[in-house]
Amino acid sequence: MSAHGGKKAILAALGANAGIAVAKFAGFLFTGSSSMLAESIHSVADTGNQVLLLVGGRRATRVATRQHPFGFGRERFFWAFVVSIVLFTLGSAFALFEGIEKLLHPHELESPGWAIGILLVAMALEGYSFRTAVHESRPLKGDASWARFIRRSKQPELPVVLLEDSGALVGLVIAMGAIGMTVVTGNARWDGAGTTAIGLLLGAIAIVLAVEMKSLLIGESASEEDEAAIIAAIDAAAPVRTLIDIRTEHIGPESILVAAKIEFDPNLTMRELADVVDALEVDIRAAVPDATRIFIEPDVVRPMRASVVEPTDGDHPS
């Protein structure tokens, strides 16, 4: 995993979630709060998710094989997709089940002071993890909004950690409010309602993650900026007459496949054409270092064939 893969953010989230899970579960044992139990399972799921992201980052660095000639960069997309499934099954489904059960069969909350104290500690730890993820994401986000960054990022780890941590903070606020209302009103159904709300929140986050990771797994084009830089590098080459067609695809977070059909100066000899293509590949990589796989096909423009060079970044939902 590269430095931009968010390893620091993952490790911060791993440490925070592991500690929070233990504290929340202790709180559940003292209070019997279903909101605390739901939050405990949430933190256990998040801890497992960080481990899965680290596994994906490590497996993605394996050397390409004959069966996988473009390497294993998409492993990071796959394991981030698995994270969304884990978050939904262990986090959302369990919280919904526990919340509905508590609404149907409420029982008195014990030692709410313990729960509130533990939730405050969890907020501090989760806030540290979230702050680290935001700090790691800012250089990649640039001037884009956070929503656009999550939708357009090719680095799966940082959006996952950002969504998990923000969801965890909101979940903690919900749990705090549910416990507070239970104490004030004496009605334990507030605890069940909070648990159910946490389950719905986790389900929504899991769906967003699944959609985004599915798009990356299927294959997304390079960003508009990278594609424009690649086209500019091609157009700047003197022997290039026309860029007939270009297609790009991320085969890993930091690996872009480029396929271009180009009309060159017809007076070039075969050796000169080969040298021009080699030099063009160097120029493309200089403009976009992530362009690791480049395939250039010399061709000629035919009168009946319209150019199909167009931005492809908007062709997918993510």
* The pLDDT value given to residue 3: 44
C-alpha span between 309 and 7 (Å, rounded): 36
Reported as a pLDDT band with limits 50, 70 and 90, residue 304 is low
Domains in the chain with CATH codes: 3-218 (1.20.1510.10), 224-315 (3.30.70.1350)
**Quick check: 182 pLDDT over 70?**
yes
C-alpha span between 56 and 284 (Å, rounded): 28
For 202-221, how does the pLDDT look when each residue is reduced to its tens digit (9 = 90+)? 889 888 888 888 888 888 99
C-alpha span between 199 and 195 (Å, rounded): 6
**Quick check: 283 pLDDT over 60?**
yes
For 185-206, how does the pLDDT look when each residue is reduced to its tens digit (9 = 90+)? 888 889 889 889 988 998 898 8
What is the average pLDDT across 229-248? Answer: 94
* The pLDDT value given to residue 317: 43
Reported as a pLDDT band with limits 50, 70 and 90, residue 305 is low
* The pLDDT value given to residue 86: 80
pTM, two decimal places: 0.75
Sheet holding 293-298, edge to edge: 240-252, 255-264, 293-298
| C-alpha dist (Å) from residue 157 to 63, 71, 150, 198, 309 | 21, 19, 10, 22, 31
C-alpha span between 192 and 107 (Å, rounded): 10
What is the average pLDDT across 40-59? Answer: 84
* The pLDDT value given to residue 318: 43
Reported as a pLDDT band with limits 50, 70 and 90, residue 88 is confident
**Beta partners for 255?**
252
Compute, in degrees rounded to 10, the torsion defined by CA atoms 8, 13, 18, 23.
130
